[in-house]
Amino acid sequence: MKSSQRLHSLTRHEGAVNGVAFGPAGHLLATASDDRTVRVWSLLEDRPPQLVKGHTGAVWSVAFSTDGQRLASSGDDGVVQVWDPLVGQPTSTFGGHPGPVCGVAFSPDDQLLASVGATGSREETHRNNQSGEVKV
C-alpha cells in the first residue's frame, strides 16, 4: 500500500465545508460552506481562491458543468445559483424549493440542471440555456 501525502491545505472558509466538486479538467476545486460562500480553488497556481458570494444561508452543494463554464450551488436559502466559476459572477438564479436545497447536478450534455430539496418532497429540473429561462 502506498502512503499518501497532502498536496494542498484549503483553509480560507470561516465555517464547515459541506460540499466539494472538481472541475472537469481537474485543476479547479469548488467548496461549499456554512459561511454562506463558495470558493473556487486553482490546484495549479498558488493564489487565493475565487470568492463566490450570493447565498443568504449555508451552502450545501456545488457542481461544475461538464464544459467547466458554469458552477451551480445550493443551500439553506432554498435557491440554486449558477455562476461563472472564474470570476464569481452569477448567471442564473432559480428559486422554488420550500426549504433548503441539498444537491445540484448538471446533465451530461449541460442542458439541464437538477436540484433536490432537503425535505425530499420536491425535485426540479431547470433548463440551463443562455437566456436563463426556467423549465420546472
pLDDT digits (tens, 9 = 90+) for 31-51: 999 889 899 988 888 888 888
pLDDT digits (tens, 9 = 90+) for 50-93: 888 889 999 999 999 999 999 999 999 999 999 999 888 888 88
Query: By 3-state DSSP, what share of the chain in percent is helix, strand and coil, each rounded to 5?
Result: 0, 45, 55
Task: Kindly state which CATH superfamily the domain 17-127 is placed in.
Answer: YVTN repeat-like/Quinoprotein amine dehydrogenase (2.130.10.10)
- Residue 82 is given by DSSP the state E
Which helix (H) or strand (E) is 21 found in, with range?
Answer: strand 17-22
Instruction: Give domain limits for the chain.
Output: 17-127
Structure confidence at residue 133 as a pLDDT band (50, 70, 90)? very low
Q: What is the Cα gyration radius of the chain?
A: 15
Nine-digit cell string for 74: 445550493
Write the secondary structure of 27-77 as one string of H (helix), E (strand) and C (coil): CEEEEEECCCEEEEEECCCCCCCEEEECCCCCEEEEEECCCCCCEEEEECC
Rounded to whole angstroms, how far apart are CA atoms 21 and 29?
Answer: 6
Nine-digit cell string for 45: 497556481
Contacts for 1 with CB less than 8 Å, ≥ 6 apart: none
| pTM for the whole structure | 0.81
